[in-house]
Amino acid sequence: MTRLIIGAMIRAIGAYPSGWRYPGAHRDPRGDAAVLRRAAEVAEAARLDYLFFGDWLATGHDLEYHDPYLVARVDPISAITYLAGVTSRIGLIATANTSYSDPYTLARATASVDLLSGGRAGLNLVTGAEPRAAANHGVDFHTANEARYDRAVEFEIVLRRLWDSFDDDAIVADASSGVYLDPQKLHAADFHGEHLSVTGPLNVPRPVQGHLPIVHAGISPRSRLFAAQSADLALVAVGDREQAIAIREELRSLAFESGRDDRTLKVIAPVLPIVGETREHAQSIADELSELVQIAEDWPGGPPPAFPSNRSLAQLSLLVGVDLAGLSPDRSVTPPLVAEFSAAGQELVEIVAERTGRSPSSERPPTLRHLVVAASVNASMIVGTADDIAAEFEAWGDAGAVDGFNVLSAVQPQQFEAFAFQVVPELQRRGLLPTEYEGATLREHLGLARPESVHAAGDPVAAAGQRHGSRGRLASARRHP
């Protein structure tokens, strides 16, 4: 039995491309405040560890088809600040992009939220550079992209120095003596690197947690190295349990080699469960969501500009090894057609059967649309009952594949509440999630100690450098499985 970290990745109009079209779904971002508040109340009552808010710094008509939830959404720092006032225990993680953010402003905002929330804030640092986002911030895209990880490394060091500007006891506030501040316990950042130059100190007291837990996601070697050296949570999208085990082992080995106690790096996988009262009910929900996804052939004259190129029969033809041009996307996939498919195509048919309950030899065969959607919508899905989903979570945890899951909901609020009200009690029954919060801060929810100040050793440069390659004081630490 493994205690898992369970958080919810909040996408107010749903995480599935067609989630907003599902009957009863929230679909207008102008009403997000009520949805976010309800989600926070439900998640906290379920004793989830945190709510997670991603970000995207641009918009456009093409996102309607790629990822509708990105078209219009509230700023993540604003979201967690709002929810800090209507919750009392759940962690709240916001995303910021190191390519475009100002470190002093971000350090001030996040330290403030941590103080106001009683130590429940976390920060997801992303490094991606995107042409429209770069233009929105007056930055040359190619320059930003080439330097993004070098800047991110400096950014993380600066954040920690700024958060540690005040020692925990720097504010004396002695009315009798008239001494308010011990000047020896206020520290400048004094960082001057290739990409960032920040003097400091920060004008906010040290966060309740010392440093906010830092999250990082990515699959490239540089991204994994950054996560291993600097993050508390590494978000890793994986295809199966064996791949997850290998990636977790790689990340923890990199963490150990960089001088960390590798147990302090928690590896979290995103997952999109479809929850039903029965397995057939869950499959019917997944089936309807698939049928609501638009593909290129839905437009007789061709799809709109920037429509996803992989969401088409032409792309499916390449995958299955059969020319499907000119066929209706709602044509049934029958055994004779499947017999012509490549091995990859036949595997895709099995995935559709597992998710939707449709098989070529049944009374309800899948359609070509189902295959296109399964091949093109990038989501790690588990479709089934609360027991099915909890059992899968448990198997992954016991195998050492992950330390926890970032749960996405295809439809808000229905699927989010189905997970909270049905799956969470089963996770708790299995001992995978506590029935009550065991700590007050996000760090405590995650099983992480409060770090000492980077200035405590008297050399902030050396202290920060220990996190970036030097084995330092942990050189003799034991590698932990």
DSSP of 400-428:
TS-SEEEE--SSTTHHHHHIIIIIHHHHH
Q: Which residues contact 281 (CB under 8 A, 6 or more apart)?
A: none
Dump pLDDT digits (tens) for 450-467: 999 999 866 544 444 444
Annotated binding-site residue? 220: yes
Q: Tell whether 95 and 163 lie within a shared domain.
A: yes
Q: Tell whether 228 and 327 lie within a shared domain.
A: no
Q: Tell whether 129 and 218 lie within a shared domain.
A: yes
Q: What is the DSSP letter of 311?
A: S
Q: Tell whether 203 and 269 lie within a shared domain.
A: yes
> Residue 458: what pLDDT?
61
CA separation for the pair 146, 130 (Å, rounded):
12
Report whether 229 contacts 260 (CB < 8 A).
yes
Dump pLDDT digits (tens) for 17-68: 999 999 999 999 999 999 999 999 999 999 999 999 999 999 998 999 989 9
Q: Tell whether 59 and 165 lie within a shared domain.
A: yes
Is 70 exceeded by the pLDDT of residue 471?
Answer: no
Q: Tell whether 366 and 384 lie within a shared domain.
A: no
Annotated binding-site residue? 75: no
Residue 98 lies in a domain: yes
CA separation for the pair 334, 474 (Å, rounded):
60
Domain boundary among 376, 391, 424: 376
Q: Tell whether 329 and 220 lie within a shared domain.
A: no
Report whether 74 contacts 31 (CB < 8 A).
no
Place 82 in a pLDDT band, splitting at 50, 70 and 90: very high
CA separation for the pair 109, 107 (Å, rounded):
6
Is 80 exceeded by the pLDDT of residue 469?
Answer: no
Q: Tell whether 229 and 309 lie within a shared domain.
A: no
Strands 171-174 and 179-181: antiparallel
| Nearest of 18, 61, 70 to residue 305 by alpha carbon | 61
> If you average pLDDT over each of 113-117, 300-304, 453-457, which comes out highest?
113-117
State the helix-helix crossing angle for 368-376 and 279-291, rounded to 10 degrees: 90
Q: If residue 126 lies in a helix (H) or strand (E), which one and from where to where?
A: strand 121-126
Is 50 exceeded by the pLDDT of residue 344?
Answer: yes
Domain boundary among 360, 376, 392: 376
Domain that holds residue 68: 5-274+380-446
Q: Tell whether 360 and 404 lie within a shared domain.
A: no
Q: How far is CA 45 from CA 288, 435, 446, in A?
A: 29, 10, 18
Residue 454 lies in a domain: no
Q: If residue 304 lies in a helix (H) or strand (E), which one and from where to where?
A: none
Residue 288 lies in a domain: no
Q: If residue 288 lies in a helix (H) or strand (E), which one and from where to where?
A: helix 279-291
Q: Tell whether 365 and 401 lie within a shared domain.
A: no
CA separation for the pair 407, 8 (Å, rounded):
5
Dump pLDDT digits (tens) for 364-401: 999 999 999 999 998 899 999 999 999 999 999 999 99
Q: Which residues contact 398 (CB under 8 A, 6 or more apart)?
A: 1, 2
In 164-240, alpha helices (H): 221-230
Length of the chain equals 481
Is 50 exceeded by the pLDDT of residue 472?
Answer: no
51: which strand partners?
8, 92
Here the CATH number for the domain that contains residue 24 is 3.20.20.30
Can you tell me the mean pLDDT for 407-411? 98
Annotated binding-site residue? 98: no
CA separation for the pair 255, 251 (Å, rounded):
6
CB-based burial label for 331 (10 Å; 0-12, 13-18, 19+) = middle
Residue with tokens 């939830």: 69
Place 100 in a pLDDT band, splitting at 50, 70 and 90: very high
Q: What percent of the chain has pLDDT over 70?
A: 95
Residue 304 lies in a domain: yes
Dump pLDDT digits (tens) for 178-223: 999 999 999 999 999 999 999 999 999 999 999 999 999 988 899 9
Domain count along the chain = 2
Report whether 82 contacts 33 (CB < 8 A).
yes
> Residue 112: what pLDDT?
98
Q: Tell whether 264 and 413 lie within a shared domain.
A: yes
| Nearest of 149, 163, 296 to residue 223 by alpha carbon | 149
DSSP assignments along 59-118, one per residue: --TTHHHH-GGGSS---HHHHHHHHHTT-SSSEEEEEEETTT--HHHHHHHHHHHHHHHT
Question: SS3 for 162?
Answer: helix
CA separation for the pair 366, 344 (Å, rounded):
16
Is 90 exceeded by the pLDDT of residue 142?
Answer: no
Residue 283 lies in a domain: no
Q: Is the pTM of this model over 0.85?
A: yes
- Side chain identity at residue 39, one-letter code: A
Q: How far is CA 117 from CA 110, 125, 249, 290, in A?
A: 10, 20, 34, 39
Q: Tell whether 369 and 386 lie within a shared domain.
A: no
Annotated binding-site residue? 258: no
Domain boundary among 361, 376, 391: 376
Report whether 42 contacts 409 (CB < 8 A).
no
Q: Which residues contact 183 (CB under 8 A, 6 or more apart)?
A: none
CB-based burial label for 475 (10 Å; 0-12, 13-18, 19+) = exposed
Q: What percent of the chain has pLDDT over 90?
A: 90
Residue 356 lies in a domain: yes
